[in-house]
Amino acid sequence: MCGIVGYIGEADVKEILLKGLEKLEYRGYDSAGIAVLNDEGVVVFKEKGRIADLRDVVDEEVDAKLGIGHTRWATHGVPNQLNAHPHQSTTQRFTLVHNGVIENYHLMKKAYLSNVEMASDTDTEVIVQLIEKFSQDGLSTIDALRKTLHLIHGSYALALLDKEDPNTIYVAKNKSPLLVGLGEGFNVVASDAMAMLQVTEQYVELHDQEIVIVHKDSVEIQKLDGSIVERPAYKAELDMSDIEKGTYPHYMLKEMDEQPAVIRKIIQAYQNEQDELTIDANILDALHHADRLYIIAAGTSYHAGLIGKQYFEKIAGIPVEVHISSEFGYNMPLLSAKPLFLFITQSGETADSRQVLVKIKEQGYPTITMTNVPGSTLSREADHTLLLHAGPEIAVASTKAYVAQVAVLMVTASAYAQAQGKTLDFDVVKELGIAANAVQTIVDSKEEMEEIATEFLATTRNAFFIGRNVDFYVSLEGALKLKEISYIQAEGFAGGELKHGTIALIEDGTPIFALATQQAVSLNIRGNVKEVVARGANPCIIAMEGLEEEGDRFVLPKVHELFSPLVAVVPLQLISYYAALHRECDVDKPRNLAKSVTVE
């Protein structure tokens, strides 16, 4: 989704901005631009497509030490050069980049800008034109910005240049993430610390409804009412090598390969000195006082939440509801007397989940965020955080974060059960270790996964994934992986449900991926496979060792049944990867998608 960078200092700003935007490419975007300011004025370069396309139009001769940049994921107006950011006011005095959505931009246009001819279809242009209008009415830039922010409704992270003030970047934030980075003789702005890690590790987080006046040697944070805010900087705990691809052709492949290490890291991170798995005592306490856990998440994180429900109910005895965040906030169910909310979000920035968190906090209920990004918005705003320890996930398709989510859900449910005095009939550390080894075996079987992708998915238009019990939830995730990166229409189903309608879609050769990891329903899923095979389907059965039968396409190394989601998802990720490769899709940056979905 949209990204922002900004720099003010002594270096050539163009390269710093372009490199910063390249680091944000993984978030998904369809156009990009930069604006630089020097004594002669502002120069804007923008282009539809990739940063490489933007590089082609940037004039190397322009020399400037101050500038802002943006990657745009279209919300208002098609992705084209005109709608790309930065946007300028009519006189070109003000230049702005913006992430987020201004909900009342039509009203603002009508009320204040009826005589202004807009150059784009974006809500963003309204902000910059309002600033110009109020400045022409006699307000200083900061007051014009402040007045504009009082009037607009919605989400924004923005950076503003004023042609008449070549020593300042004005910054503001509400609901969309934004950071200010500090350096010696320079300062930066970034929607994600990763973008500016090339120049600094020191960041100051911004809160909603704050404005920042950024000079090259000072940073002043103000509230909207003008009062000054003091906030210390923190060190971004990110290793550049974590965010480089190394020798891998794609981040997705690297991240799938990292999954065994991620499981082992989670064991270490949650183990105490006695080698027992444990979690924050405040979270144990919150679980203890809850009569029901509400898991709120989107996409892959929602699929992990479905597995989490099994863990909390079966291991910890806590009733759980799992909800899609974009639905929950606007159609809230009747809550239990003592609800506890668990937000699962890899990025910690998903706007759909955050709108629920804001509403839930208003109602005074306790909240936990399970995230991969310490310091992310949902982590800061929830009462407690459970970290995934997966390391930065760059590919849009989530793989290692899903495995980390399932593992941390298992750790949390079992640590709570043990804290309540329950004796588990399995050793969590040992079973996680076995699962890590099993995942290693699977990621080492890439050739076989590639063969399966070729055999089943080379020419198909669609594919189905089925499973029962937790295998059903893994099927949902397998289908999401395949469709998002290969554009093959794929659906996950409970094995018994196909015959209630969807079986009508089965034709000669339709690929069906069936998971068989659960003994109690092993015969049932095989029955479901027979039903579709009788109608021409081409089955690819992936079974757990001990449950395999002749003709199964891949046998998963044996793990405890409750841990099978950690393992069964991995062949589905790899098969999707190779299917996408064969179709020459952009695996890491699939069309229309963003890594961090920061608009509702």
Catalytic sites, residue numbers: 2, 595
299 near ligand M6R, judged by CB under 6 A: yes
Q: Which is nearer to ligand M6R, 376 or 522 (CB)?
A: 376
Q: Alpha carbon of 251 to those of 3, 480, 561: distances in Å?
A: 19, 18, 30
Q: Which is nearer to ligand M6R, 544 or 587 (CB)?
A: 587
Q: Are 54 and 91 in contact (CB under 8 A)?
A: no
Q: How far is the CB of 295 from ligand M6R (least distance, A)?
A: 12
Q: Are 138 and 155 in contact (CB under 8 A)?
A: no
Q: How far is the CB of 329 from ligand M6R (least distance, A)?
A: 14
Backbone angles phi, psi at 151, to 5 degrees: -90, -35
Q: Are 121 and 76 in contact (CB under 8 A)?
A: yes
Q: How far is the CB of 500 from ligand M6R (least distance, A)?
A: 26
Q: Which is nearer to ligand M6R, 298 or 413 (CB)?
A: 298
Q: How far apart are CA 97 and CA 18, in angstroms?
A: 15
Q: How far is the CB of 230 from ligand M6R (least distance, A)?
A: 31
Q: Which is nearer to ligand M6R, 93 or 323 (CB)?
A: 323
Place of tokens 């002043």: 220
How many chain residues interact with ligand M6R (CB under 6 A)? Answer: 16
Q: How far is the CB of 250 from ligand M6R (least distance, A)?
A: 14
396 near ligand M6R, judged by CB under 6 A: yes
Q: Are 26 and 255 in contact (CB under 8 A)?
A: no
From 15-23, 140-148, 294-302, 548-556, give the range in contact with ligand M6R by CB under 6 A: 294-302
Q: Are 414 and 277 in contact (CB under 8 A)?
A: yes
Q: Are 95 and 128 in contact (CB under 8 A)?
A: yes
Q: Which is nearer to ligand M6R, 171 or 357 (CB)?
A: 357
From 344-352, 360-368, 455-463, 553-561, give the range in contact with ligand M6R by CB under 6 A: 344-352
From 54-62, 142-150, 236-244, 292-300, give the range in contact with ligand M6R by CB under 6 A: 292-300
Which of residues 326, 345, 528, 538 is near ligand M6R by CB under 6 A? 345
Q: How far is the CB of 573 from ligand M6R (least distance, A)?
A: 10
Q: How far apart are CA 204 and CA 535, in angstroms?
A: 60
398 near ligand M6R, judged by CB under 6 A: yes
379 near ligand M6R, judged by CB under 6 A: no
Which of residues 89, 148, 347, 355 is near ligand M6R by CB under 6 A? 347
- Report how many helices (DSSP H) and strands (DSSP E) the chain contains, helices first: 19, 25
Radius of gyration of the chain (CA): 25
Residues 6+ apart with CB under 8 A from 241: none
C-alpha triplet 368, 1, 365: angle, nearest 5°? 20
346 near ligand M6R, judged by CB under 6 A: yes
Q: Are 76 and 155 in contact (CB under 8 A)?
A: no
From 126-134, 297-305, 431-439, 555-563, give the range in contact with ligand M6R by CB under 6 A: 297-305
Residues 448-507 binding ligand M6R (CB under 6 A) are: 480, 484
Torsion of CA 521, 522, 528, 532, to 10 degrees: 160
Q: In three state form, how does the secondary structure of 161-224 look?
A: EECCCCCCEEEEEEECCCEEEECCCCEEEECCHHHHCCCCCEEEECCCCEEEEECCCCEEEEEC
Q: Are 567 and 319 in contact (CB under 8 A)?
A: no
Q: How far is the CB of 124 from ligand M6R (least distance, A)?
A: 23
> Structure tokens of 224?
């909207």
Q: How far apart are CA 532 and CA 512, in angstroms?
A: 8
> Structure tokens of 297?
């998440």
Which of residues 88, 124, 353, 367 is near ligand M6R by CB under 6 A? 353
Q: Which is nearer to ligand M6R, 195 or 211 (CB)?
A: 195
From 57-65, 81-89, 340-348, 497-505, give the range in contact with ligand M6R by CB under 6 A: 340-348
Q: Which residues of the chain form contacts with ligand M6R (CB under 6 A)?
A: 298-301, 345-347, 350, 353, 396-398, 480, 484, 596-597
